[in-house]
Amino acid sequence: MGPAFVYAATRTPFGRFNGALAGVRPDDLAAAALRGVLAKVPGLDPADIGDVVWGNANGAGEDNRNVGRMAVLLAGLPVTIPAATVNRLCGSSLDAAMAASRTVESGDADVVVAGGVESMTRAPWVLPKPSRAFPAGDVTAVSTTLGWRLVNPRMPKEWTVSLGEANEQLQEKFSISRERQDAFAARSHALADAAWAAGFYDDLVTPVEGAGLARDEGIRPGSTPEVLAGLKPAFRPDGTITAGNASPLSDGASALVLGSERAADRLGAPLARVAGRGAAALEPQAFGYAPVEAANQALRRAGIGWDDVGAVELNEAFAVQSLACVDAWGIDPEIVNVKGGAIALGHPLGASGGRVLGTLAHVLRERGERWGVAAICIGVGQGLAVVLENVSAA
């Protein structure tokens, strides 16, 4: 029994919907991230990996049949390496990392690889099976790209509103203006562009062979609050949420190596210690606010408070929900997503949790901060968070 550490992290560049990664299968994206993260720990014999835990939200197409195990096989790892795929929607790869850290802490394995993948471009349409053979009527194909589908009629209508409408309701509750949302989105693009230009992502991003994508495809360096103010509302005629202040549909994968203290002889010096974890849930339509309690839980379990935190990576599903969380925590917004967030970088559902955790570990190291929080909101009313301690600053 002992602590779990993050030893390495990587991700692919994130592609826009129907963009540069559209031709790459999700299991191949997952394999690329898996190979990329193992390249960062050359002293590790892959046969020593105790388990692989992979996140994936949709799982209805080429990512079916346990995409984590498919990644292991496609990456050329020994066939003796087991793998599981977990689904907590947008939080899937953060959930995978949390599960991996528990496995290490329990002593069940010294080294566990975690990650996640999503190709929202390649998410298929699905047809429900008829209740009897040879129906005479038409059948509707349902998109599995994003949001509710094939909804159980017993679900209350207020729970099953669109993700955008749910966040318009959040905007009403907390009176977060369109101007604040657009300013937050413009900052995300500017910081992401600056981070790439400064080389921050050079060592954190693994290219996808044959894709020709050098960096995240969704970054718009010229985005300003004034430019974003010209976009029309996407969900209500008089609403505040637009395509510019919400994360785009995206494709990509992320991966991390977690291990015990004694695994350092094979993995090298760790980046950070997993110090606390939290999971919380609210009404399904309030999902954007669920990271608030998840992060507060994680901090309590780490034995620290918000005053100790020097960096926050919060997945920007929507600017409005990000601002609602930051306001609730009462923290300085300038410590949040200092290398850009999902509005600019993209949000491939199953990969985003691994991205925020890996980015946080590197931000803590770069800035010399000791404590950081990675958090993510999750459709159907959930949130996850992890506290990391920068071991070089402890």
Instruction: Find residue 10's DSSP bridge partners.
Output: 255
Backbone angles phi, psi at 274, to 5 degrees: -75, 110
To 5 degrees, how large is the angle CA 197–CA 202–CA 204? 125
To 5 degrees, how large is the angle CA 144–CA 73–CA 90? 30
Structure-token pair, residue 330? 């009462």
Kindly name the residue from 189, 325, 347, 362 that is annotated as catalytic. Answer: 347
Distance CA 146, CA 129 (A): 21
For every residue of 220-268, DSSP letters joined together read: -TT--HHHHTTSPPSSSTT-S--SSSBPPPEEEEEEEEEE-GGGHHHH-
To 5 degrees, how large is the angle CA 247–CA 371–CA 118? 30
Instruction: Find residue 55's DSSP bridge partners.
Output: 86, 116
Rg for the chain (alpha carbons), in Å? 20
Distance CA 188, CA 194 (A): 10
Distance CA 355, CA 9 (A): 8
Kindly name the residue from 189, 325, 362, 377 that is annotated as catalytic. Answer: 377
Q: Is 362 a catalytic residue?
A: no
Q: Is 325 a catalytic residue?
A: no
Backbone angles phi, psi at 281, to 5 degrees: -145, 150
Distance CA 187, CA 322 (A): 13
For every residue of 163-188, DSSP letters joined together read: HHHHHHHHHHHHT--HHHHHHHHHHH
Q: Are the CB atoms for 49 and 82 separated by under 8 Å?
A: no
| CA 320 vs CA 169, 176, 185, 274, 292: distances in Å | 10, 7, 10, 28, 13
DSSP SS3 for 379:
coil
Number of Cβ within 10 Å of residue 197's Cβ equals 11
Structure-token pair, residue 264? 């350092």
Per-state percent for the chain, helix, strand, coil, to nearest 5: 35, 20, 45
Catalytic residues: 90, 347, 377
